[in-house]
Structure 1
């Protein structure tokens, strides 16, 4: 298990437990995190689970793969630390991960 903190645009933080092997998106959906729509259910075919990874976690999370980069083109307000939460697999090393949801999903 890993604790993941989701911060919304108003600054409200919610920390949830996520099972190793699941995705950050799945943890968000299971815990009713606002701002994560996940229209495609995690198939990396939309950009509605877009998050900003906290700068100090970028190295541990790793860079997006080419397919994810292509889907990020459809996201709102893409930044250097943008990721699709469906593509971030939870590992014990991600315990304490912090992500922020964008103002709106693409």
Structure 2
């Protein structure tokens, strides 16, 4: 499936995390903790129009996002977004650190 990241198209696979698709495409997503919700180095900003297509963030994810200096209402951790066909065309940005 095609995703839109920082104005370019990247390929995502159903079942993988957004973090993994982004890394494969060369986006600057660290994911230092490996998706264990112990950091926020995979922070992305989802396009507002696409937020309703995502499941709600868990309380643990929300707690980690509270530590992100420039988090916004549509901030998410890419390690917590599992791709499926319903997310084809998802648009997001990787904010500057």
The bucket for the TM-score relative to the shorter chain is: over 0.9
Which residue of 2 is the match for residue 3 of structure 1? 2
Aligned residue-pair number: 97
Compute the displacement of 1:103 (Å).
1.8
In 2: Cα distance, 1:62 partner to 1:54 partner: 14
Compute the displacement of 1:63 (Å).
2.0
Compute the displacement of 1:82 (Å).
0.6
List structure 1 segments (4+ residues) > 6 angstroms apart after TM superposition.
none
Which residue of 1 is the match for residue 96 of structure 2? 103
Compute the displacement of 1:62 (Å).
2.6
TM-score after normalising by structure 2 = 0.92
Indicate whether 1:75 and 2:68 are aligned: yes
TM-score after normalising by structure 1 = 0.85
3-state secondary structure, aligned to 1:80: coil
> Deviations along 1:34-72, whole A, 9 cap, x unmatched?
3x1211122221100101110110000132110100111
Contact 2:44 2:76 in 1 (8 A): yes
3-state secondary structure, aligned to 2:63: helix
Compute the displacement of 1:76 (Å).
2.6
Unaligned runs of 5+ in 2: none
Cα root mean square deviation, aligned: 1.1
In 1: Cα distance, 2:69 partner to 2:88 partner: 27
> Deviations along 1:6-32, whole A, 9 cap, x unmatched?
11xxxxx22111111101001011121
Which residue of 1 is the match for residue 48 of structure 2? 55
